[in-house]
Structure 1
């Protein structure tokens, strides 16, 4: 592996300016006082969606309300003297049960839809809240004894009251790579669950006891049957769908014959810039949205902004 001159510094979901203040998580008195302070701001999640104000896009962060404390609030951090917490509401909550300020122009949207349009503070808050929501939804019981766990430390720990074990939010590393051939064509593939025409670069989870470089080489060979002969690290980005950290690379190969792993991919092909541009303009091809590091890898190879972008690819 060789070093890049500069890694991606402004990936959509890697931005944040909020201090997470881990010391507050273990201070029960401080945590208990958060919702008593009128300056505290609350991010309310309904499923994966939050209230987003228009022009420019920004989170609708409200003051605390009666009942928030009973929702097991999660402490997201502090910025410029303001504390931020997240609470969840039932997915079926009706709009009339949540009055908004008169004249507010808002929509309910998730991180995939608005993550690239938010500023650094809001992008960081929503990324953290989305990751916590996914973890809590999937880890309500102790993996050792099966007992229901309790939420402690401001949402950053679940403790088993039966055996005393403690469980932290999981993050699973995954590699994602833009592979090019000797003619500088880009390898793009369609996953089995995706509709025809949806393309992205290759990606896969890092296995136990495996380095990142070895994971890139293994995934490329497994999925398309070619061996890489060089790679460059480009950056990393959380991908909380439900709990991955995407580690991005550029890779080269001297081989062009592809053997598609049919259990993972529907198809894979090499693309020139003209071919990709034509497919995008004609609507035959869709790519990952701007919120994903996959989009940035493709855009870097393309040499500039892509002509349109499609829905986020679930990589």
Structure 2
């Protein structure tokens, strides 16, 4: 089955673009280079706090990340992370603070990736994804998992070192599978989680377990959540998902039987939709639109053959 054959395939999945940023990992241990990069007049800095940064809305209905030169950056009680170098030579840093700085012009607003991910240009999205992922990891891994002592930040925010036992700890990324399952009638299986509102349907998803391949995870998760047996599994694309630290691996899967039996714990309701049924349900407001920044929406669009309709 070839799935990259429709108009949706030409559109990038949100938060996946490199944004023309060279992460320059080889510079993270060079303190002299980092100091010179920080002091350079073209260097740009932004603050991240609680998964949010300041953004400004633009006249075209989009948004852009609020950055500042390093000499204006609020360094007090801040952790500094080097994010990389753009094609034009500009270096970017993020500062992790407990609160976002105030703005006298009242134009900027705090926003996270869920709100602004689809509005920011590719470069800004790439920077914010990187910064939010580091912030989440740093906040949750302050102590050594080997001896329990407090760790310190190293490698420009990409390593935590334990002075007590010498252990080094690296940012964690949890692999998760997300899949659109179709049956022999080419209908799509969508489910509603127990804590979602009525009408909120999406693709099935779950974390990869230890000792399991991603293909095995697809089969297991679909079986556990919806009671549907899966045969073939085909990889599509991936998406970083720093909520707090996942990498979503997208798949198309083919069911061997249409019988549904939801688990009632994670999935409360699951349905097979034809293209006509899904389009009509969204237009009528019976099914809520999928999130624009999620790879789930792209998987459904690849099957649907075009961008999903909007409610009337």
TM-score, with length taken from structure 1? 0.89
Residue 40 of structure 1 corresponds to 43
Q: Is the counterpart of residue 153 in structure 1 residue 155 in structure 2? A: yes
Which range is displaced more, 40-49 or 124-133? 40-49
Contact 2:240-2:247 within 8 A present in 1 as well? yes
1:82 lines up with 2:90 in the alignment: yes
Residue 248 of structure 1 and its aligned partner are, at CA, apart by 0.6
Residue 125 of structure 1 deviates from its aligned partner by: 0.4
Aligned equivalent of 1:98? 102
Gaps of 5+ in 2: none
Which residue of the partner structure matches residue 190 of structure 1? 192
Q: What whole-Å deviation, never above 9, does each CA across 1:128-178 have from its counterpart, x for those lacking one? A: 111111111111111111111101110000011111100000011111110
Aligned to 1:119: 121
Q: In structure 2, what is the equivalent of residue 138 of structure 1?
A: 140
The answer as to whether partners of 2:191 and 2:201 remain within 8 angstroms in 1 is yes
Find the counterpart in structure 2 of residue 220 from structure 1. 222
Partner of 2:31: 28
1:200 positional shift: 0.8
| 1:58 and 2:59 aligned | no
- Closer/same/farther in 2, CA of residues 160 and 287 from structure 1, 3 Å limit: farther
Distance 1:255 1:291, change over 3 A: same
Mapped contact 2:16–2:126 kept (Cα < 8 A) = yes
> Which of 75, 78, 82 is the matching residue for 1:71?
78
Distance 1:66 1:291 in 2: 30
Question: Aligned pair in 2 of structure 1 residues 9, 24: CA closer, same or farther (>3 Å)?
Answer: farther
Partner SS, residue 73 of structure 1 = strand
1:263-282 alignment to 2 at 5 Å? 263-282=265-284
Question: CA–CA distance in 2 between the matches of 1:174 and 1:8?
Answer: 24
Q: Residue 109 and residue 3 in structure 1: after superposition, are their counterparts in 2 closer, same or farther (change >3 A)?
A: same
Deviation at 1:292, TM superposition (A): 0.8
After superposition, give the CA deviation of every residue in 1:240-271 in whole Å (9 maximum; x if it has no partner): 10111111111111311111112221111111
Structure 1 runs of 4+ aligned residues shifted over 6 Å read: 6-9
CA RMSD of superposed structures (Å): 2.0
Could you tell me how far apart the structure 1 residues matched to 2:258 and 2:3 are?
24
* Alpha-carbon shift at residue 90 of structure 1 (Å): 2.2
Gaps of 5+ in 1: 310-315
Q: CA deviation at 1:237?
A: 0.8
Q: TM (normalized to structure 2)?
A: 0.90
Distance 1:277 1:303 in 2: 11
CA contact (8 A) 2:52 2:113 kept: yes
Q: Is the 8 A contact 1:203 1:219 kept in 2?
A: yes
